[in-house]
Structure 1
């Protein structure tokens, strides 16, 4: 799956004071077959909006969404087709709200199979296979959602997504409402599905540790834009963008106990939602520009680590090398280890 130049604006205000707020701008993201990409950022940065636009639950204002090279927005202009729904499924954050309490688990899985024409004589066997795939007992098909734990409900939601054999799963913070003790089980399930069935995933999360554990690559979103992307281990050990450095520094670290400085919040430039310049309001000594920053390579090209920041513009006579050595925070790797 590939996203090119995706943008989304929402109209706000009344009849005589109507204007638009930019939620996404120029988002470029690709997910290879059998690859897991984590999308991280603070609340309100646009992560869930991106997932909803890709899933066609929101209509993008601009851009293209390609699945196997086919632009879905051009092929299905008005609403998502059943073919697209069978290619891409979404697992929502709240397992308590994504399952109708009036129906048994059997209903959710059987309905998915019927809608996409996968029912028939082998339905019962397929239901049992789905339950076994997500680590649940077949006798739970007769249970209501309130009779299951939070982790079991989320596994049912994953089984419902798997029923149509999708190529891509959008997982919008699937473990944030689960107990810590059951999160690892859901993460291991997602990891196993990638290896056994070759399913690609966009994993949206606030948890940098789970992103490092699960994802091949991590993309950082701020103010509706991707500001940094790279292989998960490299990006979290060597954060380049000032915003990524703030995210990493917010991870609790026992080594900083006793000398902990309050975490500085990320700041938006004034009127950023209508601006075409840099969204991040850095310190004055960071020489930030009002121009839109472009991507710059950071570190080893094999790690595919890039950052969209003026601080990494090549210097004149520097042979095209970015300013990573000047701006990378000391001890970033130690912070990321938390």
Structure 2
């Protein structure tokens, strides 16, 4: 039986403090050359919270901003605005110029391509040993600790469901699923509290995806690691994640408990995503022309598919969060369609403050 490789949160951090919190995060990319003032907005005032031992799925089509959000949180891209809190500490203020070693030991990222993230010139042992050495884990900074380090390497391999003798293998000698497990083991080597998994199964065969998803669930259940699971696969989000957040045009437009949100999508964009999932029950009623028209309306707008509807306010007023259904499900949506009518009871959440308030 292997020992847990995850260290608990700092003793001075409350168990109620979120493992990761993103507040008003924005990111713009400048285009057109060095002296151009043009910019493309990739993220706009993104708020996201991940509790301890919680898995949150972030879903959306390609180009919606999912990976950009993960790269900003991982400090691989510099956010244009906003705050990132890990264990309640604002890391952008603590580490102003670059991510510190302490931050890297708290938060790790697993990339989409397991082969591209592993140097083919090195054996598997090199990747895990290097993580242990840099962060001083497994006795690597103590004299005569080679035996202890070797045990730790084998323990990491066992934890992710691989044989210890694979430490002597090269990446090309492993399957795609095995390489992704090695990438997860490398992330675990530094004993993080949070793992950002950027579509970790999209390049794997369908037959091995469930194994990686079950491994991520096991790490959450046994070691209490919090995860942001980025995916375009709604089925895997429903299977793995406690909560699901929907991203469109650089903003989170809907969020809630995974089962409730995917069974009762509220935002037009979420409804569009769900309608794209094959379902034999609605095979006879599927209208590809109507779906294509709706998709065109959604993607042509930076805010809402109903922007041209004179009854809506999407063109002039940014929608705020509104509660949907049972408050216990924490299901909310940003859409004027759910705005409470004047004089009627409703479940609108508090209006978000304007910049500078």
User: What is the TM-score when the length of structure 1 is the normalising length?
Assistant: 0.90
Partner residue, 1:207: 233
Q: Which runs of 5+ in 2 are unaligned?
A: 1-19, 349-357
Q: Secondary structure at the match of 2:102?
A: helix
Partner residue, 1:59: 78
Distance 1:261 1:200 in 2: 39
Q: Which runs of 4+ in 1 moved over 6 A?
A: none
Q: Does 1:230 align with 2:249?
A: no
Q: Which runs of 5+ in 1 are unaligned?
A: 273-278, 323-338
Per-residue deviation at 1:17?
A: 4.5
Per-residue deviation at 1:18?
A: 3.4
Cα offsets for 1:168-216 (capped at 9, x unmatched)? 0000000000000000000000000001100000000000010000000
Is the deviation greater in 56-65 or in 310-319? 310-319
Distance 2:307 2:336 in 1: 13
Partner residue, 1:332: none
Per-residue deviation at 1:287?
A: 3.0
Q: Does 1:32 align with 2:51?
A: yes
Q: Does 1:79 align with 2:98?
A: yes
Distance 2:347 2:74 in 1: 38
Aligned-residue RMSD, C-alpha:
1.5
Per-residue deviation at 1:248?
A: 0.3
Distance 1:15 1:108 in 2: 37
Per-residue deviation at 1:306?
A: 0.4
Partner residue, 2:7: none
- Structure 1 residues 229, 57: closer, same or farther in 2, change over 3 A? same
Q: Secondary structure at the match of 2:203?
A: coil
Per-residue deviation at 1:63?
A: 0.3
Cα offsets for 1:76-120 (capped at 9, x unmatched)? 000000000000000000011010000000000000000001124
Partner residue, 1:334: none
Partner residue, 2:181: 155
Per-residue deviation at 1:234?
A: 0.4
Q: Where do 1:1-338 residues align within 5 Å?
A: 1-14=20-33, 17-118=36-137, 119=140, 120=142, 121=145, 122-262=148-288, 263-264=291-292, 265=295, 267=297, 272=302, 279-282=303-306, 284-285=308-309, 287-289=311-313, 290=315, 291-321=317-347
Q: Secondary structure at the match of 2:85?
A: strand
Instruction: Kindly indicate whether the alpha-carbon contact (under 8 Å) linking 2:194 and 2:225 is maintained by their aligned counterparts in 1.
Output: yes
Per-residue deviation at 1:282?
A: 2.0
Per-residue deviation at 1:158?
A: 0.2
